């Protein structure tokens, strides 16, 4: 599985990240798993075509004791298996990593955690 991992986070940083994600309404039915919806304008052509039957599409983020792991697999919420499920392309990968880093470090000059 391809993923983006940030580790060696403090318990306070993890707490702040979870709080931010929960405030954004990104939680999933599974504890410590959060879902980010992929915007329609960066879906691949096949994902756009399959959106009515397979979408919406999501990235999954897992939070551990001192790490967070973002899967770079774009999942379809409407189906478990389909040709539209694939690893993120460059635009999708950049979008989700930028979004995640903004949540963790909203002030890029100071690299302060979200309170």
- Confidence at residue 23, expressed as pLDDT on a 0 to 100 scale: 93
Chain segment 37-89, per-residue pLDDT in tens: 999 999 999 999 999 999 999 999 999 999 999 999 999 999 999 999 999 99
- Report the C-alpha gap between 69 and 87 in whole angstroms: 15
Task: Give the pLDDT of residue 105.
Answer: 79
pLDDT band at 112 (very low <50, low <70, confident <90, very high): low
In this predicted structure, what is the pLDDT of residue 110? 53
Does the pTM surpass 0.95? The reply is no
Full DSSP string of 45-88: HHHHHHHHHH--EEEEEEE-SS-EEEE-EEEESS-SS-TT-EE-
């Amino acid at each position: 599985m391809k993923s983006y991992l940030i580790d060696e986070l403090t318990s306070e940083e993890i707490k702040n990240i979870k709080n931010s994600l929960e405030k954004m309404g990104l939680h999933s039915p599974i504890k410590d798993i959060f879902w980010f919806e992929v915007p329609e304008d960066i879906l691949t052509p096949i994902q756009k075509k399959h959106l009515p039957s397979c979408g919406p599409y999501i990235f999954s983020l897992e939070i551990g004791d001192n790490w967070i792991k973002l899967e770079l697999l774009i999942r379809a919420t409407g189906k478990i298996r389909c040709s539209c499920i694939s690893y993120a392309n460059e635009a999708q990968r950049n979008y989700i990593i930028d979004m995640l880093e903004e949540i963790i470090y909203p002030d890029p000059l100071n690299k302060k955690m979200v309170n």
